[in-house]
Amino acid sequence: MSRLVVISNRVALPKQTQTGGLASAMNAALQERGGLWFGWSGNIGKESGTELHEVTERNISYATIDLSRKDHDEYYAGFANRALWPLFHYRGDLVDYRRDHMEGYFRVNAVFADNVARLIQPNDTIWVQDYHLIPLAQLLRDRGVRNRIGFFLHTPLPAAGLMITLPRHRELFESLASYDLVGLHTHRDLRALEDYFLHELGAAMRTGGRIRAANGRLFRAGVFPISIDTAEVVELAHRTEDTGDVARLRHSLDGRELIIGVDRLDYSKGLPQRFEAFARLLRDNEEMRRRVSFLQIAPPSRSEVPEYRQIRRDLERSAGHINGQFAEPDWVPIRYVNKSYPQKMLAGYFRVARVGLVTPLRDGMNLVAKEYIACQDPKDPGVLVLSRFAGAAQELGAALLVNPNDLDDVAEALKRALDMSLKERRQRWDASMEVLENNDITRWRNAFLEALMHPARNASDLATTAPAETIS
Ligand code: GDG
């Protein structure tokens, strides 16, 4: 088995608390094959990439570099998070394109390539993660790297009509052809990629779904919906159910139903609309007042980017306004919490909540939706209200699917969820859980790596999951 080299913006170092399924999925894959994980240390240094920090634990080496302030600001806080992130989430209005930011992005990718090229052995398989590192394969090829290289995009890929609004888009997106395999969450993302390559770059589709780029390079793209460590999340929720923290939350509800939302504080997650939809539920259904509480956990994220500071201010105002309008001396409708909690505590909170409210305006997948389902008590499960524009909606058709821009639609779904019979809740939950048992994080990474290592397989075999049936 060839050694695996994972390259991502940040690295989950062994001594750090590992959050999220991705870190553990990568570690498991690296452990299996032995390997190297390379990325930014998270620290600012005098110059980028002049010193390699290396830690080895069992058969995994972790190698990180620092970035200079300028490189960090232009590559990470600039082009990646103020141009690509909003563009990929259909927020053309928030794209702040600057030529120097794009140059900084390519410069840092080249620093990554210089450092990684020295560490790569001839039989290594390389797996690059996410939108920060789109041009990396091409830069590695320029440095003579001939290994198999895969790329996975964790965000959505927008329609070709939006991709072309990015200045110098060809320079960036054409470099995807230097990968052997490009992985996306959904068929919609795959169609966008194919459409862009065919109609904007003059590429041609070849047999088996391969794409022949205009420069002659042949690559494949496939659908690999990421998932969670289902068995572990189930176990976590079960274990924390009766702990003090969870009992305190339950007690504080005083018999009321809980609606829960957990999201990084990010404008793609649709939080202002979600707050308004909850207010509409209370406005239109007097009997719901005092009957429900909405807990929104939103740990701050990317606070160096101005749009993230703005959304934080907007939400504080909105929560205050809604609470001012509807609260009673013994009841606060929205509990809005701006900090992060350990995974196990979240699992217990999910289990307490009758409704999981996940309404991003756009989301590559959305793992919170999957975690909420996995944390439910099978005998008395809650209901997931899920945005149609989350990748997860392609698999979780048994959730109540909503358009997050339509406040009435979301408010009605909330009411329906709160009034739903146990029989229907179980039926929907069983269907969703079956999906998560079939497609967990191990299946996701194995499917991607198998496809990367076996290029002879047809691209049509690459999809790990067909779009789910919906239950209306
Ligand atoms: C990107 C894409 C795609 C959240 N708050 C806390 C906490 N979390 C955990 C959740 C979940 C993870 O963070 C968030 O994952 P999501 O998928 O929901 O969203 P993004 O962070 O935007 O992730 C997304 C994902 O990449 C994977 O490809 O699904 O579409 O945008 O696991 O539980 N974890 C802890 N405390 C918190 O307060 N410990």
- Which of 66, 71, 180, 363 is flagged as catalytic? 363
The answer on 170 and 41 residing in a single domain is yes
Query: How many other CB atoms sit within 10 Å of the CB of residue 207?
Result: 7
The answer on 248 and 216 residing in a single domain is no
Question: pLDDT confidence of 460, banded at 50, 70, 90?
Answer: low
Kindly state whether residue 274 falls inside one of the protein's structural domains.
Answer: yes
pLDDT digits (tens, 9 = 90+) for 190-210: 999 999 999 999 999 888 779
Q: Please, which residues have CB within 8 angstroms of residue 225's CB and are 6 or more apart in sequence? A: 185, 186, 365, 391, 392, 394, 395, 439, 444, 464, 465
Q: What mean pLDDT is reported for the chain?
A: 94
Give me Rg for the CA atoms of the chain: 23
pLDDT of residue 467: 53
| pLDDT reading at 75 higher than 90 | yes
Sign of the alpha-carbon dihedral angle for 171, 114, 149, 78 = negative
pLDDT of residue 20: 62
Burial (CB < 10 A; 0-12, 13-18, 19+), residue 39, is buried
Kindly state whether residue 153 falls inside one of the protein's structural domains.
Answer: yes
CA of 249 to the centre of ligand 1 (A): 22
pLDDT of residue 18: 60
Kindly state whether residue 470 falls inside one of the protein's structural domains.
Answer: no
The answer on 98 and 33 residing in a single domain is yes
- Report the share of the chain in percent with pLDDT over 90: 87
Q: What integer is the mean pLDDT of 250-274?
A: 96
Q: How many domains, in total, are found in the chain?
A: 2
The answer on 30 and 174 residing in a single domain is yes
Which of 16, 19, 84 has most ligand 1 atoms within 8 Å of its beta carbon, as the pocket-test mutant?
A: 19
- Which of 72, 101, 132, 154 is flagged as catalytic? 154
Residue 31 or residue 184, greater confidence:
184
Which of 128, 268, 337, 367 has most ligand 1 atoms within 8 Å of its beta carbon, as the pocket-test mutant?
A: 367
Q: What are phi and psi of 246, to 5 degrees?
A: -70, -40
Q: Which residues of 346-358 are buried (b: 16+ CB within 10 A; e: fewer)?
A: bbbbbbbbbbbbb
The answer on 452 and 419 residing in a single domain is no
Kindly state whether residue 468 falls inside one of the protein's structural domains.
Answer: no
- Residue 228 is which amino acid? I
The answer on 222 and 81 residing in a single domain is yes
The answer on 457 and 433 residing in a single domain is no
The answer on 179 and 36 residing in a single domain is yes
Which of 264, 274, 344 has most ligand 1 atoms within 8 Å of its beta carbon, as the pocket-test mutant?
A: 264
| pLDDT reading at 466 higher than 60 | no
pLDDT of residue 415: 98
User: Whose C-alpha lies nearest to ligand 1, atom 37?
Assistant: 340
- Is-contact 238 226, C-beta < 8 A? no
- What gap in Å lies between CA 329 and CA 336, rounded to an integer? 17
pLDDT of residue 22: 77
Whether 363 is a known active-site residue: answer: yes
Pocket of ligand 1 (CB under 6 A): 19-20, 22, 154-155, 226, 262, 264, 297, 299, 340-343, 346, 363-368, 371
Whether 154 is a known active-site residue: answer: yes
Kindly state whether residue 210 falls inside one of the protein's structural domains.
Answer: yes
Q: What integer is the mean pLDDT of 107-113?
A: 98
- What global pTM score does this model have? 0.96
- What gap in Å lies between CA 472 and CA 453, rounded to an integer? 40
- What gap in Å lies between CA 294 and CA 286, rounded to an integer? 16
Kindly state whether residue 471 falls inside one of the protein's structural domains.
Answer: no
pLDDT digits (tens, 9 = 90+) for 281-322: 999 999 999 999 999 999 998 888 888 999 999 999 999 999
Domain that holds residue 262: 230-438
Q: What integer is the mean pLDDT of 19-33?
A: 79
pLDDT of residue 15: 76
- Report the share of the chain in percent with pLDDT over 70: 96
Question: pLDDT confidence of 173, banded at 50, 70, 90?
Answer: very high
The answer on 325 and 356 residing in a single domain is yes
The answer on 219 and 268 residing in a single domain is no
The answer on 193 and 102 residing in a single domain is yes
| pLDDT reading at 332 higher than 90 | yes
pLDDT of residue 183: 97
pLDDT of residue 249: 96
pLDDT of residue 242: 87
What single-letter DSSP state applies at residue 179? S
Task: Return the closest-CA partner of residue 422 out of 375, 387, 386, 378.
Answer: 378
Kindly state whether residue 467 falls inside one of the protein's structural domains.
Answer: no
CA of 366 to the centre of ligand 1 (A): 7
pLDDT of residue 21: 64
The answer on 254 and 270 residing in a single domain is yes
Q: What integer is the mean pLDDT of 351-375?
A: 97
CA of 369 to the centre of ligand 1 (A): 10
CA of 381 to the centre of ligand 1 (A): 22
Kindly state whether residue 196 falls inside one of the protein's structural domains.
Answer: yes
Residue whose pair of structure tokens reads 């806080």 in the numeric block: 77
Residue 56 sits in a domain whose CATH number is: 3.40.50.2000
